[in-house]
Amino acid sequence: MLNEITQDATERMQKSVEALVNNFKKIRTGRAHPSILEGIQVSYYGSDVPLSQVANISVEDGRTLSIVPWEKPMVPVIEKAIMTSDLGLNPATAGENIRVPMPPLTEETRKGYIKQARAEAENARVAIRNIRRDANGDLKDLLKEKEITEDDQRRGEDQVQKITDKHVAEVDSLLEQKEKDLMEI
């Protein structure tokens, strides 16, 4: 009973950390990385699909992404999708190859991205604390139904707290790493 609750809490907290990692990928640093374009949807024969499903995305050099569509008519569609995204990128087309230079980050944009990263990290912490609250609520319900003793409940709450502390520390270290990446020139 206790193991099931702690196992469920651990899995859900880990998913919150993974979601944070994915959100951090969308916050761009000064370096070019294909994951920056992950959220971009492209109209392909009437349906919206991720950019990675219609083109090959690679890093040309430290500050430039290279996009090679699998079909030539997709070039203007991809170009428009990148320009209309809120990433602030301006693609340059050379035949079938689309180059996306990463503009250097100004101090102001760095601070904005750091603020965004902190907000994402706080959302992850809140999600983890909500999972802790749910797990402790489950333990209280088991105690009310007399399926576990008060000692078992306290032991379970201690385990859940340790799991929570571990995942919050992981979120903090991910945030610290992201801030370091953003401040790197």
The one-letter code for the residue type at 33 is H
Work out the angle at residue 151's Cα, subtended by the Cα atoms of residues 148 and 157, and round it to the nearest 5 degrees.
Answer: 85
Which of 85, 101, 117 is the C-terminal boundary of a domain? 101
Work out the angle at residue 164's Cα, subtended by the Cα atoms of residues 132 and 154, and round it to the nearest 5 degrees.
Answer: 65
The pLDDT tens digits for 150-161 are 888 899 999 999
Structure tokens at 59: 């890093």
Domains: count for the chain: 2
Whole-prediction pTM: 0.72
Strand partners, 50: 41
The pLDDT tens digits for 169-181 are 999 999 998 888 8
Q: Give alpha helix (H) positions in 56-106.
A: 74-84
CB-based contact 171:121 (threshold 8 Å): yes
Domain hosting 70: range is: 34-101
Same domain, 168 and 80: no
Same domain, 96 and 149: no
CB-based contact 117:175 (threshold 8 Å): yes
The pLDDT tens digits for 96-143 are 888 888 877 788 888 888 898 899 999 999 999 999 999 999 999 988
Same domain, 50 and 72: yes
